[in-house]
Amino acid sequence: MYVCNCNAVTVKQIKRALSEGCNGYEGICNKLGVGSCCGKCREHACEVIDEHIVEMSSLKTLTTQNTSLAASPNILAAV
């Protein structure tokens, strides 16, 4: 799905750029050109960025929980 029609930038491209280290809207603008023409995509791009942050936070929480469970011998013995 396109977020920025002027520069043909997709949701997937934005999320990949964020995963590769781009920081926020400005980072996405600099790397992908999002918002550099008409600017109508700004709000949608920010939503995609927020969504990505939530996804990464959830993933980090799940990873931490799994690590905690694996580190507990009582839980492993009960399984």
Applying CB under 6 A, does 11 fall inside the site for ligand FES? no
Task: Compute the distance between CA of residue 29 and CA of residue 5 in angstroms, rounded to an integer.
Answer: 13
Q: Which stretch binds ligand FES (CB under 6 A): 4-12, 15-23, 58-66, 68-76?
A: 4-12
Task: Compute the distance between CA of residue 6 and CA of residue 15 in angstroms, rounded to an integer.
Answer: 18
**Which residues ranging from 24 to 53 are in contact with ligand FES (CB under 6 A)?**
34-41
Q: Which two tokens stand for residue 54?
A: 């939530």
- Give bridge partners of residue 9 from the DSSP assignment: 4
Q: Which is nearer to ligand FES, 16 or 36 (CB)?
A: 36
In the complex, the residues that contact ligand FES under the rule CB under 6 A are 4-7, 34-41
